[in-house]
Chain A
Amino acid sequence: MEWFDSGWGLTLIVFIPTVAAAILLAIPRSEEGAAKMIALVASLISFFLSVVAIFQFDFGRADQMQLGTKLEWITSINANYAIGIDGISLPLMVLSTFVVVLAIIYSWDHWPEPHNPKAFLILILFLATGMAGTFVARDLVLFFIFFELVLLPMYFMIGVWGDKQQVTLPIVNRVVEMRLYASIKFFLFTLFGSAFMLLGFLALYFKSGDSQLGIRTFDIEVLSDIATRVDPGFLGSAAPWIFAALFLGFAVKVPMWPLHTWLPDAHTAAPTVGSVLLAAILLKLGTYGFVRISLPILPEQSMNWAPIIAVLAVISIIYGSLACLAQTDMKRLIAFSSVGHMGFVMLGISTMTTIGINAAVIGMVAHGIITGLLFFVAGSMSHRYHTREMSRLGGNLKLMPVMGGILGFTAMASLGLPGLAGFWGEFMALVGAFNPLDGLDLTLFRTAMVIGAIGTVLTAGYLLWMLQKVNLGEPKAEWASVELHDVERTELLAWVPLLVAIVALGVYPKIVLGATDPAVANIVENITRAVGS
């Protein structure tokens, strides 16, 4: 498997979907079956290769970049095609290829209006490349390109296949279609953050030239090496600004309060598969950026900003849960729950401890599969009921027992029930917050821990409330004459793997933590060295 280990494996994982998209472009629009088949096969190959990557991955050296390569790309700015995975990127990369396969299976006969499977699949495949690419990139330029690559397909997905409901904009009272409003908001919001992020990257590039290393570089590892070993003070007084710029870029994507408002709209307006990919993978790009770039390259600034991040994270947790309680739209409620859950992930990161960052990574994976599944179910339900208003639903468990059962199970997983995937991220984030990295304010973090723990109560509160409104009770009279069919085969095919993953991760978290722990320990060790020196 020499070819695989030398970077070809990862390259194929990332670009096979693109190739498939190109092939799809060539075949006529009427050949739907062929289009679906090509997309499925491509995503399956990509997923299969990422499973191969698990076996080729040397878990003993999970703290180092593996299976990668570094080829010259844009020599004039010293940007390279540098890819590779370590213990942190591996689970996320596998998650992204995994969810794409399920998204395509689910789409098999769930085409949102205005149909056109070919175009829809092309967008999914481009998204697949962008998502997997972000997780394997080791070069800031490459990272940025993949990071931005996901924007466009998602923009079109929301804008074209999204919800056509008319909404009135606040203040101006202009009536627009939900999908247009949401897609533009999503695009601009994210681009706004990315612009600052790019500035930050450029600043890092130029500053690295002034460091003792003396070479301008975009290489993440080299930069982190400069920051932690070679010349820790190389950023000088620009450091806070660079961190702030990166923070904006990542925090919008996460999203952290108060930069989160694009998320409920985008989720609500997006077609089911769009919501799933958005929740399962896209949000993780932001948190991954923090772990991969902000912490290793700007350790000292991360220390300074950690209390702020912790406070924002806690606000996200409480605020997200409270906002959930005020929702009437089921999909919007689930969207807001993401704000709270990602708050736990950010709380874990802000502690800057091995436990906290491990919690963040397993939290990301768990949120990906759980919320992904919740959106699948919510999408399928609104597909059948033609409404997402919780006040009109009720007795779903009676009308569609299997669907209701899966919804209940997933909601339980989402509220952090021990033994299921969601528990570890939440619990360990709290553990991390009790003892943050030396030098961080103990009182603040312990207060954050207590508030976070209270947040788990609110989380349970809104999810149970949702279950009560949607799943339990007697079905409303209006559904008596409506034919509602329970879960279909393609739905089951897409969901059962997620259900299994939720249980497996809950019972045996080593699946993720086994890979992440050495890598996280390495990051924390570097941070400690940099901050201590």
Chain B
Amino acid sequence: MVNLATLALSAGSLLATAEEEGHGVELSDGGLLAQYAWLMVVLPFVAALFITLYGKRTPRGGAWIAVGTVGFVLVYGLVLLISHWATPIAHTENINIATIGQFDIEWGVVVDGLSIMMFFVVGAIATASFTYAVSYMEGDIRETAFWASFSLFAGAMLVLVSAANILQMLVGWELVGLASYLLIGHYWEEKENSSAAMKAFLVNKVADVGLIIGVLIPALIVGSFRFHDILGAAVEGNPGLVKYGFVIGLLLFIGAMGKSAQFPFHVWLPDAMAGPTPVSALMHAATMVTAGVYLLGRMFPFYNSVAIDVLPIVMWIGGITMLIAGLLAIVQDDIKRVLAYSTVSQLGYMVAAMGAGAYTAGLFHLFTHAFFKSLLFLGAGSVIHAVHSNNMSDMGGLRKYMPTTFWTFGIGSLALAGFPLLAGFFSKDEVLASLNYASSHGTPSATFVMWIGIVTAFITAFYMARAVFLTFFGEYKGDPAHEPHESPRLMTVPLQALAVGAIVAGYFNVPGIFTPFTDWLSGREFAPGDHHAESFDIFVLVLGSLAGLIGIAIGYSFFFADGESQEARDRRFRLPGPIHTLLVNKYYIDDFYMLIVNFIKRPLANAANWLNGLIDAAVSGTGILMSVLGKFVYEGLDQRGIDASINAIGGGTGEAGGALRYIQTGKVQQYAAVLFIGVLLLAVGFFIVTSR
């Protein structure tokens, strides 16, 4: 343990460590445990297939099979994490699935600090959400389909996380997209939902254009898809990678922006809330949307060596995203949408941290966020389950009806708001501190982003306070005939478990005191030598906490006051008209996109179709021209020309015969006479000719 700590602390300047990466630490191959890690990846697919084929014949649509598999992932991930904690593991298994020229295409499982951390997160959140969903989805119209897709997602996410090569990451990337499509559109009877699913898929697909190109360029330069080779080449300063580093880095980041819902690709995530709530909790809060951050983390040695110019862009995108999404969360009425925008905003934090070169801080925020945000979603699901509405205007006063949900949701909100000593407090502070550090170490503009972060911390605290007070305090505004009640234990137990996570997760990386998380993450090949603070950055800590506390306080003053009438409270908070309009219309970004989509779908597609008609007309025209020509040839040339002359010859012969037949008298002697005369004439002619 001690040598690990020293290793982590010994990480000096960014580039210097990049040189000695990985070799400084003793990485074990992890033995059988690491070799069989592929089981985690394959089992969910087996479960998905089994449920698809036989789910209808198993009780509860195969729900418990699905829960069992993710439970297995959790246990396996936990065991891996603990053994990694003891002895850092970095192990890769590859199997070849094709060879093209010099390229090996492989499936592989990488087991190292980064992936083990994600295995654990995916396993933990998935187990909580799956267990929760067993109760939540009971009696759903399509339970089997839900469990098959949900298991498929777990498998796809693990394919992505365990990817030993960049191509496999792309595969996992798109497969989670597919699972997302299936689950967002779970209630596809309504066009709105299927459109949301389509939107999610297509927005991601647009961003994936960047990812696909970003994947193939380094692979072509290095001659391999393996992260090991690409990162190794990057660290060694491969000239091709140096030349294309910026482009590759940017393209990969565009892919990451899509999946991690960064501005301007954030539009799909709020709509994705159309799916069942456990889906939102697992996929659209904790795991799938963090894939972009994970990609940045996986490729971090690359960014740190040859694509260092991309990082400010990454940071700024993160900064912009966290602010605009946070503002949007303020005006939402749908509780899931509040959380969705909050997720976008928090992903902005992670991305900004990555951009500031703080690999550990970014991923630590991913880690803590996974717990409290999935907790919030599941809590919201519990509320929705009870009230049968997504809208906060139908809620209120629920703390009396559903105390467990209230307490757990409250803890989650406080953690998200950065309330001191809860998970979000530590990770958000680290993000802000890393931005502050970057501003004095080569990226001056990080100061601005840090201030954006602090403002966003305030906004976050405010909208979460709004959500909590509107939902759980005041009086119940929903259907009075239908009294809300606490959710069954199968739903509350995961909430409680996650609440524990939302409290303790932050303590895994207390700067200077207890930093196992940092050690986990640096236990990998080409460990990035990022900066991590050895003590708290007091300036940022105070500012960030204050912003959060003030946000809660202002939220309290607007939305609390149990005694007042509900109407009075609702009226008290009013944003200035134009800003409100702008926010309600989501900055008109969606409308702008729809303009483009409609342009493609209507005029452009119709133009293509029209052009097709034109080509077709040309072809048909040629055909028709040919038939006209044929008619002319037949009637004009053939019938009236050639055929007519042939007929004329035939007719003439007939006429001549008719005229001449009278010569044929049948009298032999006449014939003979004619014969002789003829011969005589010939002889005379012959004589004349020859005698000349």
Contacts and interface: CB of A to CB of B under 8 A. Distances in A.
Q: Quick check: do A and B touch in the complex, using CB within 8 A?
A: yes
Given A472-B188, A474-B189, A507-B97, A325 B212 contact: no
Interface stretch (B3-11, B610-618, B669-677): B610-618
A328 to B, nearest CB: 10
B194 A473 contact: yes
A355 B613 contact: no
Interface stretch (A65-73, A83-91, A452-460, A480-488): A452-460
Contacts of B620: 169-172
Interface centre among A358, A419, A456, A517 (most CB of B within 10 A): A419
A450 interface: yes
A510 B600 contact: no
Contacts of A262: 619
A468 interface: yes
A517 B105 CA distance: 12
A202 interface: no
A464 B178 contact: no
Interface stretch (A224-232, A272-280, A430-438): A430-438
Contacts of A508: 97-98
Contact of B623 (A188, A354, A428, A458): A188
A520 B50 CA distance: 39
B636 interface: no
For the side of the interface on A, what is the size category? 35 or more
Interface in B206-244: 206, 208-209, 212-213, 216-217, 219-220
Contacts of A460: 201-202, 205
B609 interface: yes
Interface in B167-218: 167, 170-175, 178, 181, 185, 188-191, 194-195, 198, 201-202, 205-206, 208-209, 212-213, 216-217
B32 interface: no
B624 A172 contact: yes
A324 B601 CA distance: 10
Contacts of A355: 100-101, 103
A121 B105 CA distance: 41
Nearest to B613: A170
B605 A513 contact: no
A322 interface: yes
Given A417-B175, A419-B175, A423-B171, A323 B609 contact: yes
Contacts of A240: none
A206 interface: no
Contact of A509 (B105, B208, B617): B105
B216 A430 contact: yes
B440 interface: no
Contacts of A358: 100-101
A96 to B, nearest CB: 22
A169 B205 CA distance: 38
A405 to B, nearest CB: 8
Nearest to B168: A418
A94 interface: no
A327 interface: yes
Given A322-B604, A450-B213, A453-B209, A468 B97 contact: no
A199 interface: no
Contact of B213 (A188, A430, A517): A430
A251 interface: no
A322 B605 contact: yes
B100 A458 contact: no
B97 A457 contact: no
Contacts of A456: 205, 208-209, 212
A261 interface: yes
A431 B181 CA distance: 27
B220 A171 contact: no
Interface string B84-112: 00000000000011111101010100000
A185 B605 contact: no
Contact of B600 (A258, A325, A450): A325
A180 to B, nearest CB: 13
A428 B167 CA distance: 11
A514 B195 CA distance: 40
Interface string A186-200: 001100000000000
Contacts of B219: 431
Nearest to B617: A170
A513 B191 CA distance: 41
B615 to A, nearest CB: 5
Contact of A457 (B99, B189, B209, B606): B209
Interface residues of B, number: 58
B212 A430 contact: yes
B682 interface: no
A169 to B, nearest CB: 6
Interface of chain A, main secondary structure:
helix
A398 interface: yes
B621 interface: yes
Nearest to B601: A325
A434 B217 contact: yes
Interface centre among B175, B216, B623 (most CB of A within 10 A): B216
B244 to A, nearest CB: 10
Contacts, number: 160
A2 B98 CA distance: 30
A414 to B, nearest CB: 13
A158 B100 CA distance: 39
B608 interface: yes
Interface string A357-381: 0100000000000000000000000
B217 to A, nearest CB: 6
Contacts of A453: 209, 212-213
A171 B622 CA distance: 11
B101 A354 contact: yes
A326 B608 contact: yes
Contacts of A517: 98-101
A332 to B, nearest CB: 10
B50 to A, nearest CB: 15
A258 B608 CA distance: 12
A417 B174 contact: yes
A129 B271 CA distance: 53
A512 to B, nearest CB: 8
Contacts of B190: 473
A319 interface: yes
A233 interface: no
Interface string A19-40: 0000000000000000000000
Contacts of A142: none
A531 interface: no
Given A431-B220, A464-B202, A513 B98 contact: yes
Interface centre among A326, A424, A465, A507 (most CB of B within 10 A): A326
Interface in A487-504: none
Contacts of A188: 623
Contact of A326 (B101, B175, B605, B616): B605
Nearest to B148: A405
Nearest to B181: A464
Contacts of B617: 170-171
Given A170-B620, A510-B96, A325 B605 contact: yes
A303 to B, nearest CB: 19
Interface string B63-85: 00000000000000000000000
B189 A461 contact: no
A473 B608 contact: no
A262 B600 CA distance: 25
Interface in A317-359: 319, 322-327, 353-355, 358
A381 to B, nearest CB: 17
A427 B608 contact: no
B206 A457 contact: yes
Q: 10 closest pairs, A vs B, by CB?
A: A325-B605, A322-B608, A326-B609, A418-B171, A354-B101, A472-B188, A326-B605, A513-B98, A472-B194, A510-B98
8 contacts: A172-B620, A322-B605, A398-B189, A453-B213, A465-B198, A472-B194, A513-B100, A517-B101
Given A260-B615, A473-B191, 6 more contacts: A170-B613, A322-B607, A355-B103, A358-B101, A418-B175, A464-B198
